[in-house]
Amino acid sequence: MAFKAIFIAHAPDADVQKHHHLIDTGKYRLYTYVVRSQAEALKVCRELHEKEKIDSVLLCPGFTHKDVAEIFAALGNNVAVCVSRGDGPSGKITAPVLQREFFGK
């Protein structure tokens, strides 16, 4: 039986039906999804947890505390929900690129 995790990231041009992948080592199954919205993230989490009994959800830094809480509540107390957060210097490096690519600024 493998440890099963989902990594979810946001992108404004994501197509959840197209932008997903599975890496399976035998002992670790990592599902990756790029979603447009919190609603899509919740749907992916619920469906994959029901189908695969996910152990952990890993979220990109774009998820707010409220988003994280909603995902945790949707999955119950048996699934870890973790958020990737960078340090200050890393945020300064990625912020201009994200602003340009995601928001046209």
What are 4-20's pLDDT values in tens digits?
999 999 999 999 999 99
On the question of pLDDT at 98 being above 90, the answer is: no
Helices (H) and strands (E) in the chain, counts: 3, 5
What are 43-68's pLDDT values in tens digits?
999 999 999 999 999 999 889 999 99
Whether 14 and 35 have beta carbons less than 8 Å apart is answered as: yes
Q: Look up the domain containing 68 and give its range.
A: 3-103
Rounded Cα–Cα distance for residues 13 and 72 (Å): 25
In sequence order, which residues have a C-beta less than 8 Å from that of residue 48 and are 6 or more positions away?
Answer: 6, 31, 54
Instruction: Indicate which CATH number applies to the domain containing 35.
Output: 3.40.50
Q: How many domains does the chain have?
A: 1
Whether 8 and 59 have beta carbons less than 8 Å apart is answered as: yes
Average pLDDT over residues 67-74: 96
In sequence order, which residues have a C-beta less than 8 Å from that of residue 88 and are 6 or more positions away?
Answer: none
Residue 34: per-residue pLDDT: 98
On the question of pLDDT at 87 being above 90, the answer is: no
